[in-house]
Structure 1
Amino acid sequence: MTTELRVLAPEQWDTMFDRIERAFTGAPESPEGRAQWRRVSEPGRMLTAWDGDELVGTAGAFSFRMTLPGGAPAAVSGVTMVSVQPTHRRRGVLTSMMRRQLDDFRDRGEPFAVLTASEPAIYGRYGYGIASRQLSGTVDTDRVVLHAPQGVEQVRFRLLPAAEALGACERIYAELVPARAGMLARQPGWETQAVVDAPGERGGAGPLLCVLAETDGEVRGYARYSTTSRWSPAGPQGSVNLKEVSALDPVTYAALWRYLAGIDLTSTIAFRNLPVDDPLVHLVSDPRRCTLGFRDALHLRVLDVGAALSARSYAAPVDVVLAVEDAFRPEDSGTWRLTGDAKGASCERTTDAAELVVPVAQLGAAYLGDASLRSMAGAGFVRELRPGALAEASAAFRTDTAPWLPHGF
């Protein structure tokens, strides 16, 4: 089958979004949500596939700046709105869009791309690896006590509708972005993404609220949440549905969790996206009363090995020759010498003998410091050719703070 790939014309945006909703098979987006996606969309970065005059595939991108290990920001394309109509599955439409899209990213001079996956198994074959994870779960606040470090009693709270607290929350968020790899700096329009609160999509919960935590009149943290009312013969069993919690210091962070645990008529805090090394696991008195789980979050695809590995810093000194295998883009396969430490790095093509063989998807998985090269070697993906090279590289790539994607796209 022959399909034509075209950049989306602005007047075709609603048709494109209709097709995406049909491909994902769920209920249509609320008018509020649809308006937000239109606000942040970049039509010139939306690729569409056409069979004659029928739109059969979509693959878009957002222009982001992402924190790298070491704190440096880098331009990155965030792949989004990928869909193929059910009439055109298994005909190469997705592969053709992925190939064209990666070519476009490389032409923009971006050394890597990122995405979140509706089905993670799809994107490994295009060279994406799982580069960060997220922690989800519940806290049984009837049985769990939250630790109270010295100073929590001095923290004061203000409760507002989420949209009214937007400015204060964005200041906190911006200050936190450089501290953790994988975080995305807010681009214009994205600041309102977190406060879209369509009544028809609340699932029985109340409106989205925001509590600001203040010390000496200064906002030091916030939590966005809603509550769901539930009752049993024994009494109230409501839930706090935590959307986001952030703070600039440990005392404020603990105070926010104690506030959430103390909301009247609730017995559970449910959350979907915290860093995997979040302090919560140490704040709770009984982790067995918390249901905790992990899932993939950010998937990363290295496009320019030299530029990507030179852009970040490394936790330990490293000098290793990497043979990177790229089955989807074999022209990008090759051998590079990586030298670096906590102050910076260089990565250049070389004719030296390879010391470590890394497929490009596994390089993407290791890039932000979450996945261990040693662990992936244990699974048979990474191969050591020089004794000691694996231990050296694995220690260098890891980060003290786990990478984290605070919101989807």
Structure 2
Amino acid sequence: METELKVLRRDGMDTWYEGLMRAFGGVDESPEERALWDDLTEFERSIGAWEGGQCVGTAGAFSFRLSVPGGAFVPAAGVTMVSVAATHRRRGILTAMMRRQLDEVRALGEPLAVLTASEPAIYGRFGYGIASRQLSAEIDTSRVTLAVPPGTDAVRLRYAPVGEVAEQCEALYVRSVGSRPGMPLRMPGWERLPLLDPPAERGGASPLQCVVAERDGETVGYVRFHTKPESDAAGPKGSVRLRQIDALDPAASAALWRFLFGIDLTSTLFVRNRPLDDSWQYLVSDIRRCRLQVRDVLHLRLVDVGAGLAARTYRTPVDVVFGVQDDFCPWNSGRWRLTGDASGASCVRTDDPAELELSVRELGAAYLGGTSLAALADAGLVRELRPGALAGASHAFGSEKAPWLPHGF
């Protein structure tokens, strides 16, 4: 039977979503989570691969604006809910959906497409490169202490109902979102995502708790977390599971981290999805007892090389000609001259000889400043054709802060 790609309709949502859930293990989401995705799904940007009345493939996109080096927010397609039924693998369904999706992203004028991958090997062939990573830790708070900067003791902490202070916490996120590349500017409705707290996903831990940090009557930070009580013959050995933390300054941040380290009856702090340069690492007494782990998060593709490279700024002046290879979106292939600095940039096609040669995948990996062009060259993935071009471009592409995606989509 022939497989047909169709735009998702509301009356087909249940069948479409059931196929998606089956592909990701078949465990139903909580009603509150399903309701959120029903509300956030952009039906006109979602497609299904249908075989008769059966949905055998899904893919969607959210309309995001992503922070990039320099602080601008660039239109980006947040690729999401991609699945192919196990019965229909290796039939070209995923390729067909990616083809249609990227053509539509281009038609909408979005220079970037981004996604988080269930398996990192899937999307490189479609031109996505790993543009940001996340830090996780398992901190032995019975052995690790925290030094704090001046002013920390002037910050007042108090417990607050999660819903009661949700608006204040979201305002802090909005204030911080442009300070680090890779963060999405949340559209209306997305502020509900960090508040999801289905009991089935707590793993025996408490309901979501919140502590806010205040100074002179102003909210300057917050932390959301779970606690899980445990004990053995030696006594309590509970754990703290961090969900989100945000603060406006070093003292407020340190006050919140110190609170997490010192919660009674706990001896382990589980930290998930934090920036690679997160500040607490430089305050701890013993980094080895923090058991750090790093993994990929945001995969980024330049759908329009010229518009994408012109949308961000550069740490130092750069004038370089890229020879770009893009087999899946051939409109990007060819030579592009990038000129720019900290105030702005332009990127246009040129007949001048290429000075650096790379694929669109490597360009996506370097785009947010988290992966250097020099490191990619050391791996044989970027080729320098003019001596000195690599060092200058690699430094210019860097970011003062590590790129970071604070939540999935």
- Taking structure 1 as the reference length, the TM-score comes to 0.98
Matched to 2:150, the amino acid is Q
Structure-2 residue corresponding to 1:48:
48
Tell me how far 1:149 sits from its aligned partner: 1.4
Structure-2 residue corresponding to 1:174:
174
State the secondary structure of the residue aligned to 1:241.
Answer: strand
CA contact (8 A) 2:15 2:54 kept: no
The correspondence of residues 226-241 of structure 1 with structure 2, limited to 5 A, is 226-241=226-241
Structure-1 residue corresponding to 2:57:
57
Tell me how far apart the structure 1 counterparts of residues 26 and 146 of structure 2 sit (CA, whole Å).
38
Structure-2 residue corresponding to 1:152:
152
Q: Deviations over 1:232-263 (max 9, x none)?
A: 11111111000111100000000000011111
Tell me how far apart the structure 1 counterparts of residues 36 and 131 of structure 2 sit (CA, whole Å).
27
Tell me how far apart the structure 2 counterparts of residues 327 and 380 of structure 1 sit (CA, whole Å).
19
1:403 is the counterpart of 2:403: yes
Tell me how far apart the structure 2 counterparts of residues 178 and 200 of structure 1 sit (CA, whole Å).
34
Tell me how far 1:380 sits from its aligned partner: 0.8
State the secondary structure of the residue aligned to 2:121.
Answer: helix
Tell me how far 1:37 sits from its aligned partner: 1.0
Tell me how far apart the structure 1 counterparts of residues 366 and 332 of structure 2 sit (CA, whole Å).
18
Structure-2 residue corresponding to 1:274:
274
Matched to 1:311, the amino acid is A
Tell me how far apart the structure 2 counterparts of residues 149 and 92 of structure 1 sit (CA, whole Å).
56
Matched to 1:285, the amino acid is S
Tell me how far apart the structure 2 counterparts of residues 265 and 107 of structure 1 sit (CA, whole Å).
56
CA contact (8 A) 1:297 1:405 kept: yes
Matched to 1:253, the amino acid is S
State the secondary structure of the residue aligned to 1:289.
Answer: helix
Tell me how far apart the structure 2 counterparts of residues 116 and 165 of structure 1 sit (CA, whole Å).
29
Tell me how far 1:158 sits from its aligned partner: 1.8
Q: Deviations over 1:41-79 (max 9, x none)?
A: 111111111122221100000111111100011111100
The correspondence of residues 279-298 of structure 1 with structure 2, limited to 5 A, is 279-298=279-298
Tell me how far apart the structure 2 counterparts of residues 148 and 309 of structure 1 sit (CA, whole Å).
39
Tell me how far apart the structure 1 counterparts of residues 288 and 26 of structure 2 sit (CA, whole Å).
35
Tell me how far apart the structure 1 counterparts of residues 39 and 260 of structure 2 sit (CA, whole Å).
32
Matched to 1:105, the amino acid is V
Matched to 1:235, the amino acid is G
Tell me how far 1:348 sits from its aligned partner: 0.4
1:194 is the counterpart of 2:187: no
Structure-2 residue corresponding to 1:69:
69
Tell me how far apart the structure 2 counterparts of residues 2 and 352 of structure 1 sit (CA, whole Å).
47
Tell me how far 1:32 sits from its aligned partner: 1.2
Structure-1 residue corresponding to 2:388:
388
In structure 1, stretches of 5+ residues that fail to align are none
Tell me how far apart the structure 1 counterparts of residues 347 and 173 of structure 2 sit (CA, whole Å).
32
Structure-2 residue corresponding to 1:8:
8
Percentage of pairs with the same residue: 60
Structure-1 residue corresponding to 2:133:
133
Tell me how far 1:408 sits from its aligned partner: 0.4
State the secondary structure of the residue aligned to 2:163.
Answer: helix
Structure-1 residue corresponding to 2:354:
354
Tell me how far apart the structure 2 counterparts of residues 55 and 14 of structure 1 sit (CA, whole Å).
10
Matched to 1:53, the amino acid is G
Matched to 1:348, the amino acid is V
Tell me how far 1:26 sits from its aligned partner: 4.4
CA contact (8 A) 1:59 1:81 kept: yes
In structure 2, stretches of 5+ residues that fail to align are none
State the secondary structure of the residue aligned to 1:299.
Answer: strand
Count the aligned residue pairs.
Answer: 409
Tell me how far 1:220 sits from its aligned partner: 0.2
Tell me how far apart the structure 2 counterparts of residues 163 and 390 of structure 1 sit (CA, whole Å).
50
Matched to 2:337, the amino acid is R
Tell me how far 1:202 sits from its aligned partner: 1.0
Structure-1 residue corresponding to 2:301:
301
Matched to 2:188, the amino acid is P
Tell me how far apart the structure 1 counterparts of residues 35 and 47 of structure 2 sit (CA, whole Å).
20
Tell me how far apart the structure 1 counterparts of residues 405 and 351 of structure 2 sit (CA, whole Å).
37
State the secondary structure of the residue aligned to 1:369.
Answer: coil
Tell me how far apart the structure 2 counterparts of residues 256 and 120 of structure 1 sit (CA, whole Å).
33
CA contact (8 A) 1:76 1:110 kept: yes
Q: Deviations over 1:57-110 (max 9, x none)?
A: 000001111111000111111000000011111100000000000000000001
Tell me how far apart the structure 1 counterparts of residues 15 and 229 of structure 2 sit (CA, whole Å).
38
Matched to 1:74, the amino acid is V
Tell me how far apart the structure 2 counterparts of residues 40 and 52 of structure 1 sit (CA, whole Å).
27
Structure-2 residue corresponding to 1:224:
224
State the secondary structure of the residue aligned to 2:405.
Answer: coil
State the secondary structure of the residue aligned to 1:197.
Answer: coil
Tell me how far 1:331 sits from its aligned partner: 3.3
State the secondary structure of the residue aligned to 1:157.
Answer: strand
State the secondary structure of the residue aligned to 2:270.
Answer: strand
Tell me how far apart the structure 2 counterparts of residues 326 and 291 of structure 1 sit (CA, whole Å).
39
State the secondary structure of the residue aligned to 1:49.
Answer: strand
CA contact (8 A) 1:161 1:208 kept: no
Tell me how far apart the structure 2 counterparts of residues 298 and 366 of structure 1 sit (CA, whole Å).
12
State the secondary structure of the residue aligned to 1:351.
Answer: coil
Tell me how far apart the structure 1 counterparts of residues 265 and 161 of structure 2 sit (CA, whole Å).
20
CA contact (8 A) 1:227 1:241 kept: yes
Tell me how far 1:21 sits from its aligned partner: 0.5
CA contact (8 A) 1:222 1:247 kept: yes
Tell me how far apart the structure 1 counterparts of residues 18 and 50 of structure 2 sit (CA, whole Å).
15
Tell me how far 1:283 sits from its aligned partner: 1.2
- CA-based RMSD of the aligned residues comes to 1.0
The correspondence of residues 104-115 of structure 1 with structure 2, limited to 5 A, is 104-115=104-115
Tell me how far apart the structure 1 counterparts of residues 212 and 174 of structure 2 sit (CA, whole Å).
16
Tell me how far apart the structure 2 counterparts of residues 229 and 45 of structure 1 sit (CA, whole Å).
44
Structure-2 residue corresponding to 1:124:
124
